[in-house]
Amino acid sequence: MANQQFHGHRTPPLSMQPGMYQSTTRRPLMELLAFDIGGANIKAAHQHGGAWIRPFALWKHPHELVNQLKELAQFAPSFDQLAITMTGELCDCFPTKRDGVSHILGVTKQLARNRPVNVWQMDGRFVNPATACANPGLCSSANWHALATFIARKHPKGLGLLIDTGSTTTDIVPFEDGQLACIGLSDTDRLTTGGLVYVGAERTSLMALGPDVNWRGKQCRLMAEHFATIADAILLADDAILERPEEHDTADGKPMTRHYATTRLLRIIGADTEMTDPAQTSRLAMQFVDQAIKRITSAIKQVLPDQPPARIIISGSGESLAHAAATTAFPQTPTSRLSDHIGPEASQAACAHALLQLHQVYFSH
Facing residues of 312 across strands? 161, 335
CA neighbours closer than 13 Å in the CB half-sphere of residue 247: 19
Just give the CATH number of 31-141+344-362: 3.30.420.40
pLDDT tens-place string over residues 84-135: 999 999 999 999 999 999 999 999 999 999 999 999 999 999 999 999 999 9
Structure pTM? 0.91
pLDDT tens-place string over residues 50-78: 999 999 999 999 999 999 999 999 999 99
Give pLDDT, residue 364. Answer: 81
How many Å separate Cα 321 from the centre of its chain?
13
Question: 290 vs 82, 103, 207, 320, 357, CA distance in Å?
Answer: 40, 38, 14, 12, 35
Closest by CA position to 107, among listed 119, 95, 96? 119
- Summary mean pLDDT of the chain: 92
Strands (E), the chain: 32-37, 41-46, 51-55, 81-86, 117-120, 126-127, 159-165, 170-176, 179-180, 196-197, 212-215, 218-221, 311-315, 335-337
Is there a contact between 323 and 173 (Cβ–Cβ < 8 Å)?
Answer: no
How many Å separate Cα 298 from the centre of its chain?
18
What is the spatial distance between Cα 172 and Cα 322, in angstroms, rounded to a whole number? 10
Q: Using CB atoms within 10 A of its CB, is residue 342 exposed (0-12), middle (13-18) or buried (19+)?
A: buried
Give pLDDT, residue 18. Answer: 28
